[in-house]
Amino acid sequence: MFKIALRNIFRNKRRSVLTGLSIAVAVMIAVYLWSLISGIMDDLFDNMIRLNYGHVRILNTDYVKRERLLPLEANIKDYQAVARLADADRNVTLTVGRIKFGVLLEYKGKNKPVFGTGIVPENESPISHLDQKIVEGRMIEMGKEEMNLGASLARELGLKLGDTLTVVTQTAYGSITAMNLKIVGIFSYGVQSMDKTTFFIPLDRAQKLLDLENSATEIFIFIKDKNKGPEVAKEIRAKLDLAYPGKYMAKAWQEQELLYFYMVIARNVYAGLYFLVLFLASFTILNTMFMSVLERTKEIGMMKALGMKNRQVMGIVMLEALLIGTIASFIGAIWGSGIAYYLATRGLDFTATFETMGTINFPISSVYHALFSWGIVFFGFCMGILFSVAAAVPPALRAAKMEPTESLKEI
């Protein structure tokens, strides 16, 4: 039976090649699109966690209620002592204090409301990878009145390295304050909500500017396994309740309402795109195999006229579909994995498009990278085989049940 199936495949090479090519292309598209979609989703959540939440965050309980307003008065006093409580947990790898605040940047008569973040520069490498995102100049240093500015923001205001900006804002006590900061570095995350509206200054300078001596508005905590966020947050909350009853709280990234909202949207979009790709790929394969077998009705009639039984005819047709589907799916999976690997290493650059769209408040990079995964490649390969065989069943069954005389009449 195997020899007959193999002979049938090579007897009509044109039909076999066209059928196989359609399956291979469908599998290729499915593999690289799934890889690209997975990469975009991973990038989205990674950016949100690293830049906005950490794995766990310690906040003043009053700050949580009004977080969108960035209330400086609801801060964490003696934040280093609070951070030490979290550091004692065996799952914690890093704790770092931050201050987020709204400001008005002023330069040569131009004003722009943006967000400032006070950071400890040496701790930013494992958190926001700021050192890797500097495209001009260097990182800021503690104790110096200097800033790192987003590339899009610098272009909008006509700023360059060495320029001095006046930052005007309110202190934690509501009084107006200002500080002149020298631009020593320009960064580009490829995320418009960062590059166009954000700057970084040393944490001690932010504390001085905002009258927040030895205080922070949040403490980022990073742990060994980010999936254990809720468990670690619960342990830290228990410690905080003992040391500072009702004053501070710890929230895992999974417990952040805004992030959860984004996750729900992203997962729904991901599921929709995933099944759309699956539908298009499966439809292509099903249609191709269905027509391929249907065209062979006369040939199947001849097999039956030569004395073959229905199950033998079905077996040969299914075996042919399996062989073509396996070879074509393997080729398609290799093609798809090659494209996915290229997109994972080089990416698709949409920077120019994003800049024309203005500020995008969704923390997604403007360079899309695929997620290269052998699991996705293997799934695409199996999908191609499954649908190839499944598509051959209805027409083969129909033809096998027909009388040889009827089959021979069809063409």
The string of pLDDT tens digits covering residues 304-329 is 677 777 777 777 778 888 888 899 99
Give the closest residue to 360 by CA, choosing from 195, 200, 128.
195
Residues 6+ apart with CB under 8 A from 171: 72, 177, 209, 210, 211, 212
| DSSP-based three-state secondary structure for 246 | coil
CA dist 58 and 127 (Å) reads 16
pLDDT at 215: 95
CA dist 384 and 377 (Å) reads 11
Q: Is residue 382 within 8 Å of 330, Cβ to Cβ? A: no
Q: Is residue 107 within 8 Å of 166, Cβ to Cβ? A: yes
pLDDT at 358: 53
Name residue 307's beta-bridge partners: none
Q: What is the mean pLDDT of residues 157-179?
A: 91
CA dist 141 and 147 (Å) reads 9
DSSP H helical segments within 96-191, as ranges? 130-133, 151-157
Q: How far is CA 49 from CA 46, 276, 377, 379, 406, in A?
A: 5, 28, 28, 29, 66
| pLDDT digits 0-9 by tens, 258-275 | 777 777 777 777 778 777
